[in-house]
Chain A
């Protein structure tokens, strides 16, 4: 490999972080500041290098005979997003990881993940993609391990699920190679005209789903998000894995295969199931990070729904939603990280009252929460609106399925809102828990708040200027279709702001100084504190406090849903658990054969010998 190949502009975003990762391993722990600076510098450099690639688009470069890279409208915009989130997380991690015992490994893995993700997006060869995919599964596992022994189980599970689908992907690639005679990805798309083609399509789909965390391969996400450090969750399941998984899905649907209507139907079914089942689980969670992880799963459903419509608008909406989701979901995880850093917990039962103590975090979290719930004019609404349009237009000439998908998607949106008002209540607005009251909580450092604020700003900007900024520059070139109608988000925003301004004016005119009186809250004439202390058991359940964590227990008790929750808690829908039990069963059978009784073993030997002899004599001649 010559130096000119290595320094080709398309290679640099891959090579640089990998080298920087090695370099960061060599930096002693004393100079951890140097290491984090190196990480930020590299991430910024990658972003700068990716920008010209994004600008020019469409280039296939055979760097080496076996190393073919490609930039096109799809990969260039994903590449840009990957680099952007890499930089933001690197900045956030400085303060978060400061003084961490495994600082060195963290930043090394971060850089390697960044480089390998760039390689995965740029790969023009399915085998290269598979190699990157495998390497990313490894770094995901290693990064999760940094969070300590608690996360070991979650890390192992994610490695198993992603590794298992990697094996499926290898099968798919072999079949693809069999069908087309090449593993290059820029060839013509193949039609789904036989069981082989279907197998290849479905196996690649499985890999994409596992990466993005969609049903039925979603089960690694909740545990991972709960146990692993928040920046890692913001970096991997919330942003990079979504980008990569949906990237592979879009590649499969757009370039590699020509899906049949039935496959589109399957996609939409899985998307709808993902949306609703994950959000129902999110409703009843008690841990902030676990709740967010369920939403990370649920939101993938919208992307798959959008892509599954098979219409230009739906596809654009799905990809736009992917981008928006990475923005608000990482913002939410970063908020969770700040909260955990300050309070030492993400248990919603033990938080509360942080709105006053951490106003910037509260603001960011509220914007992101409203955005994920699809409140206009934020970005989540813009992409959901496009997905709904796509679903409706996919219904023309097809079965009545679209009505169900649309209703499910819109209900999912309402449930998401419900789940996030609970988060806002339990974390920021309700009375602080005794634990929080004892702590001296301050707002976090600037280097952690800055990435969050950037993301919150993007939530607003990508919603208000959806058609000017992201759609026009990144997504519409990709679908190459005339997208009808534009919802005038900019104008609507101005009008909403105007009416809020009028309201504030009314307040100012009517509330002359001294007119704003602070009073104790009225609870049937009781004093909250008095009731609290005079309770029979001070440390027992707080009878007047409402944390909001169990707001939706009534929903859980509904006849039909009760069964769903019981079964899900028993991990009936968990493919990992399923496979594990299956293997256990197999192992039991094998174990029972190893009885230690020699005559039995001897019989097996003789039987095996007979089979061998039979095979040799029958086929040898």
Chain B
């Protein structure tokens, strides 16, 4: 593998450019569906791109007491993390041989970086509301991380491998009871990982007026918005890879179309949940994830271990 090729892959396809465009289109789907639910018309297809461009030409305000360096650097960390994660994921999707041992662990850790960037960025703002939002982001992370890891282990146990390529070609876990349960857990955790309703308490427009992102404006805000759009696109892709492996891999157009439809369904579930539930409190969320969700995840792991 030539290093120049890697750079092209990273910057254009399937890395930054591709994930950014796909992510922004996903947010358009989100906004359109939301609009339909609320009986509005919704924005045109390119609206997310206009929004990002507008933010890029806007003035940047930085808090006068904050740690400005970290404040500006933090959004880039998350962007780097999600880009790298998406690239690893898509390289495997496009070529099963591109996988390497333990890439799933790397992926899980890279997908923590967007959350970390929100924490650091909000703390660097030196704003009490941002600090509260950031602390909620942290608590949310430790809450969903436990069931998420357990649920991700279900496909690993079934395929007896920790390589994405092997998971992709193995029998799809969704056709087993344990796989179905684990997918449910993962959907709940995804909702929290994307910090969208009912788990949007780090931002909580109504109580913290933007919380973690309250001080952000202009290009740094654009970076955060872009990161979140890319996460909205990447997380369902990861779930498709993990739980529908055998279905979406293979030659021909059928697996690709199936994969796209499954991805779309997962995105739609996220959007519908977001439009039909109220925000919960942070302690409720922690209790929810460490309680019933972890329990279901544990049961799923046990079942997977028994071969169900």
Contacts and interface: CB of A to CB of B under 8 A. Distances in A.
B67 interface: yes
A430 interface: yes
Interface string B81-103: 10110010000000000001111
Contact of A544 (B72, B128, B134): B128
B139 A425 contact: no
A551 B135 contact: yes
Given A418-B139, A516-B60, A517-B62, A400 B123 contact: no
Interface in A333-391: 353, 355-356, 362, 366, 370, 374-376, 381, 385, 388-389
A410 B112 CA distance: 12
B56 A510 contact: yes
Given A429-B126, A503-B223, A374 B64 contact: no
Interface in A249-284: none
Contacts of A425: 123, 131, 134-135
B91 to A, nearest CB: 12
Contact of A492 (B77, B84, B116, B286): B84
Interface stretch (A105-113, A179-187, A322-330, A482-490): A482-490
Contact of B219 (A418, A496, A507): A507
Which of A388, A400, A521, A551 has most chain B Cβ within 10 Å? A521
Contacts of B60: 507, 510-511, 515-517
B6 A495 contact: yes
Interface in B33-84: 56-57, 59-67, 70, 72-73, 75-77, 79-81, 83-84
A582 to B, nearest CB: 35
A296 B15 CA distance: 38
Interface stretch (A45-53, A63-71, A300-308, A552-560): A552-560
A522 B79 contact: no
Contact of B67 (A429, A487, A560): A429
A415 B209 CA distance: 27
Nearest to B124: A429
A258 B209 CA distance: 61
Contacts of B75: 503
A496 B80 contact: yes
Contact of B76 (A414, A491, A500): A500
A522 B127 contact: yes
A392 B83 contact: no
Contacts, number: 222
B273 interface: no
Nearest to B108: A410
A528 B128 contact: yes
A566 interface: no
Interface residues of B, number: 84
Interface string A542-569: 0011101001101101111000000000
A407 B153 contact: yes
B124 A406 contact: no
B6 to A, nearest CB: 6
Interface string B143-182: 0011001100100110010100000000000000000000
Given A403-B153, A517-B59, A510 B219 contact: yes
Contact of A488 (B70, B100, B120, B218): B100
B16 interface: yes
Interface in A405-439: 406-407, 410-411, 414-415, 417-418, 421-422, 424-425, 428-431
B195 interface: no
A385 B219 contact: no
A538 interface: no
A485 B100 contact: yes
Nearest to A399: B305
B123 A499 contact: no
B142 A411 contact: yes
Interface in B108-145: 108-110, 112-113, 116, 119-120, 123-132, 134-135, 138-139, 141-142, 145
Given A551-B138, A555-B286, A400 B112 contact: no
Contacts of B132: 546
B116 A375 contact: yes
Interface in A103-126: none
A485 B101 contact: yes
B88 to A, nearest CB: 9
B106 A487 contact: yes
Which of A406, A503, A517 has most chain B Cβ within 10 Å? A503
Nearest to B223: A503
B187 interface: no
Contacts of A411: 142, 145-146, 149
Interface string B195-229: 00000000000000100001100111001000000
B283 A554 contact: yes
B109 A374 contact: yes
B141 A418 contact: yes
Contact of B84 (A424, A431, A496, A555): A496
A403 B116 contact: no
A503 B101 contact: no
B123 A421 contact: yes
Nearest to B119: A421
Contacts of A430: 123, 126, 131
B264 interface: no
B301 interface: yes
Nearest to B301: A403
B153 A406 contact: yes
B66 to A, nearest CB: 7
B10 interface: yes
Given A410-B145, A546-B131, A551-B138, A400 B62 contact: no
A616 B57 CA distance: 102
Contacts of B77: 500
B126 to A, nearest CB: 6
A542 to B, nearest CB: 10
Contacts of A558: 283, 286-287, 290
Interface string B249-261: 0000000000000
B139 A551 contact: yes
Nearest to A531: B128
A521 to B, nearest CB: 4
A376 B61 contact: no
Contacts of B81: 496
A615 interface: no
Nearest to A376: B109
A123 to B, nearest CB: 37
Contacts of A429: 66-67, 70, 123-124, 126
A161 B103 CA distance: 42
Q: Which 7 A-B pairs have the closest CB atoms?
A: A485-B101, A503-B76, A521-B127, A414-B145, A499-B80, A551-B135, A518-B64
Interface of A: 353, 355-356, 362, 366, 370, 374-376, 381, 385, 388-389, 392, 396, 400, 403, 406-407, 410-411, 414-415, 417-418, 421-422, 424-425, 428-431, 484-488, 491-492, 495-496, 498-500, 502-504, 506-507, 510-511, 515-524, 528, 544-546, 548, 551-552, 554-555, 557-560
20 contacts: A370-B116, A376-B110, A381-B109, A392-B162, A400-B305, A403-B157, A410-B108, A410-B149, A414-B145, A417-B112, A485-B101, A499-B76, A503-B75, A503-B76, A504-B76, A506-B223, A519-B64, A524-B209, A545-B128, A546-B128
